[in-house]
Amino acid sequence: METHARRERLAERLLSRRGAVLLWRNTVVSVGVFTFGLGLLWLLVEQAGMPKVPAAGLSFMASNSIHYLFGRAWIYRGTDRKVVAGYAYFLGNAVIGLAVTVALFAAFMAIGMHYIVARIVTSIFAGLVLFLLNSILNFRSL
């Protein structure tokens, strides 16, 4: 009974005005850092000759670290989580996001999708997972 009530409260928080505002802010920041990450991915593959899957992972981690700075300052402003602890949680969540990103990226590449398109499609799924993890567990904003 308690678990059902907890799920309902979470659903209410996710579908609240605050949830919508946080998702909007996160989307704005995500688009910016994703564009940076996509550019870095292109540079690593096309200019540095790095293999595509490791390059996708590296560009994801670089852009995700920049995302944390914006997340702290704007998306989840007012969080009571300490900076170092928040970054540690953020990186922990990023590992989950990285696993989702690399697995989906590799799967899309295996079916013949162009690596840039594969990374864009993958980002939608990984981005939503990371938003939920950070909103609920890290910054405790929902």
Q: What is the value of pTM for the model shown?
A: 0.74
* Continuous H helices in the chain: 2-14, 17-42, 52-70, 83-110, 115-133
> Is the separation of the CB atoms in 73 and 24 below 8 Å?
no
User: pLDDT of 67-85, one tens digit each?
Assistant: 999 999 999 988 888 989 9
- Fill in the DSSP letter of residue 48: T
Express as a percent the part of the chain with pLDDT over 70: 97
User: pLDDT of 10-49, one tens digit each?
Assistant: 888 888 999 999 999 999 999 999 899 989 999 999 999 9
User: Looking at residue 68, what is its pLDDT?
Assistant: 93
End-to-end CA distance of the chain: 21
Copy the structure tokens of residue 51.
């293999």
78, with CB counted inside 10 A (0-12, 13-18, 19+), is: exposed
Give yes or no for residue 107 having a pLDDT over 90.
yes
> Is the separation of the CB atoms in 89 and 122 below 8 Å?
no
**Residue 68 phi, psi dihedral angles, 5° rounding:** -60, -45
